């Protein structure tokens, strides 16, 4: 985790070692659950889940200050309002801890992800990318045409997003339902919602590019010369920043040399990756597909586009995550079946905000 996130965890822990230990173990568990790089391979996912759940129970007890609760029957815990508050306080901390880096893994190629506090400013300055025109002048000419550039400014106002889930406090406290799995699913749900918004904004902006012949940034139909021309164009107008070719795995199947005489073997990179990692010196990157959960088995990213972007130039999108996650949980005795509903809330906003140039090839 980055320094800011680590500082937030330390502040939340308030010196409680169990919470710091929980944060460390949950980060490893989450990486293992999502098959991300860097997790401990010496233990199985089930073993890690048992450890995280045990640490969650211990952290809740220490957080609410009821040190004697560990010795009481689970059913007595229902009488302590502080248990519910401490439980979802710890859950919110874990979600906020892993969410930013999880989102960066999905959309970090073209999105600048920032976390801000409640009510902080979310205005971004956009510097002009144009250079000043240099022209020939006579020896007796004191000045040329006066040029003046102005910064633009884009404001992003985060909006509240929420989802409500049913939770059986008894089963959670009794260890029959996994809190580790619950927190992981909460992170993935928010991550998917954020990614869908970012992908939608990205695709909309890229589809609206100018398609003027020879100078436009949107090209209809793939060919190797048009791809290389667009890469050179994007690089030149981004101050020399090297672009990459990005798209879904299906879209990248089209990125091939125009020469039909090439051959590849079953152990070649193209056969193992499913696409060419480099074409004419430009890197090719696969964008992870995301489920469009509103429609069964639908996907968010279109297979009909190739995008040319320069990651080292200014990112095309700005994503702002405001404040910490909040939870509104009903009382234990509010429902006849003794289940609770918990509404998890997170504020974020995303918008196209850049002076960088990017290109699109419509397949």
Q: How far apart are CA 18 and CA 97, in angstroms?
A: 16
Task: Pick the more confident residue, 172 or 89.
Answer: 89
29 alpha carbon, distance to own chain's centre: 18
Name 85's Cβ contacts closer than 8 Å, sequence gap at least 6.
64
**pLDDT value of position 68:** 57
Q: Does the pLDDT at position 75 exceed 80?
A: no
Q: Does the pLDDT at position 6 exceed 80?
A: no
217 alpha carbon, distance to own chain's centre: 26
Q: Does the pLDDT at position 358 exceed 90?
A: yes
Q: What is the pLDDT of residues 24-64, one digit of tens each?
A: 999 999 999 988 888 899 999 999 999 998 888 888 878 87
Region 167-181: mean pLDDT is: 73
Task: Pick the more confident residue, 28 or 3.
Answer: 28
Within 13 Å and on the Cβ side, how many CA atoms surround 236? 8
**pLDDT value of position 169:** 65
Q: How far apart are CA 172 and CA 57, in angstroms?
A: 9
Name 179's Cβ contacts closer than 8 Å, sequence gap at least 6.
52, 53, 56, 87, 91, 172
DSSP state of 293: T
Q: Does the pLDDT at position 332 exceed 70?
A: no
**CATH class for the region spanning 204-316+355-362:** alpha beta
State the average pLDDT for the chain: 85
Residue 59 in 3-state DSSP?
Answer: helix
Q: What is the pLDDT of residues 274-312, one digit of tens each?
A: 889 999 999 999 998 888 888 888 888 899 999 999 988
Q: What is the pLDDT of residues 188-233, one digit of tens each?
A: 889 889 999 999 999 999 999 988 877 889 999 999 999 999 999 9
DSSP 290-354: -EETTSTTEESS-TTEEEEE-TTS--SEEEEEEEEEEEEE--TTSSTT--EEEEEEEEEEEEE--
Paired strand residues for 111: 317
Residue spans per domain, the chain? 204-316+355-362
Q: How far apart are CA 338 and CA 168, in angstroms?
A: 7
Q: How far apart are CA 34 and CA 225, in angstroms?
A: 38
User: Taking phi first (over 0 means left), then psi (-120 to 50 degrees means alpha), and beta for anything else, what does residue 338 get?
Assistant: left
Instruction: Give me the percent of the chain exceeding a pLDDT of 70.
Output: 93
Residues composing the chain: 363
Region 146-174: mean pLDDT is: 82
What is the residue whose two structure tokens read 């939608």? 200
* Backbone φ and ψ of 233, nearest 5°: -65, -45
Closest CA relative to residue 307, chosen from 361, 232, 249: 361
């Amino acid at each position: 985790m980055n320094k800011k996130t680590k500082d937030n965890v330390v502040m939340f822990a308030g010196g409680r070692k169990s919470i710091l230990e929980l944060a460390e173990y949950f980060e490893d568990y989450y990486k293992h659950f999502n098959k991300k790089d860097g997790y401990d391979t010496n233990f199985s996912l089930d073993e890690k889940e048992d450890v995280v759940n045990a640490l969650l129970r211990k952290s809740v007890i220490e957080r609410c200050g009821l040190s004697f609760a560990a010795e009481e029957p689970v059913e007595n815990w229902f009488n302590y309002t502080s248990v519910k508050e401490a439980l979802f306080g710890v859950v919110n901390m874990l979600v906020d801890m892993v969410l930013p880096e999880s989102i960066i893994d999905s959309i970090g190629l073209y999105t600048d992800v920032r976390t801000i506090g409640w009510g902080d400013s979310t205005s971004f300055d956009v510097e002009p990318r144009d250079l000043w025109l240099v022209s020939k002048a006579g020896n007796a000419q004191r000045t040329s045409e006066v040029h003046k550039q102005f910064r633009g400014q884009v404001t992003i106002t985060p909006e509240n997003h929420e989802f409500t889930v049913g939770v059986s406090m008894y089963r959670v406290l009794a260890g029959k339902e996994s809190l580790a799995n619950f927190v992981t699913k909460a992170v993935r749900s928010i991550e998917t919602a954020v990614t869908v918004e970012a992908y939608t904004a990205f695709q909309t902006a890229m589809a609206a590019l100018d398609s003027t012949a020879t100078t436009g940034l949107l090209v209809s139909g793939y060919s190797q010369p048009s791809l290389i021309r667009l890469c050179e164009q994007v690089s030149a107008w981004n101050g020399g920043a090297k672009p990459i070719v990005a798209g879904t795995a299906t879209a990248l199947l089209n990125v091939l040399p125009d020469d039909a005489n090439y051959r590849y073997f079953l152990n070649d990179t193209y056969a193992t990756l499913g696409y060419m990692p480099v074409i004419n010196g430009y890197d090719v990157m696969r964008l992870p597909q995301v489920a469009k959960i509103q429609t069964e088995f639908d996907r968010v990213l279109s297979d009909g586009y190739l995008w040319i972007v320069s990651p080292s130039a200014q990112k095309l999108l700005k994503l702002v995550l405001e404040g910490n996650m909040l939870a509104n949980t009903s009382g234990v005795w509010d429902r006849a079946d003794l289940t609770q509903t918990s509404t998890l809330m997170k504020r974020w906003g995303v918008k196209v905000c850049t002076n960088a140039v990017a290109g699109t090839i419509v397949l």
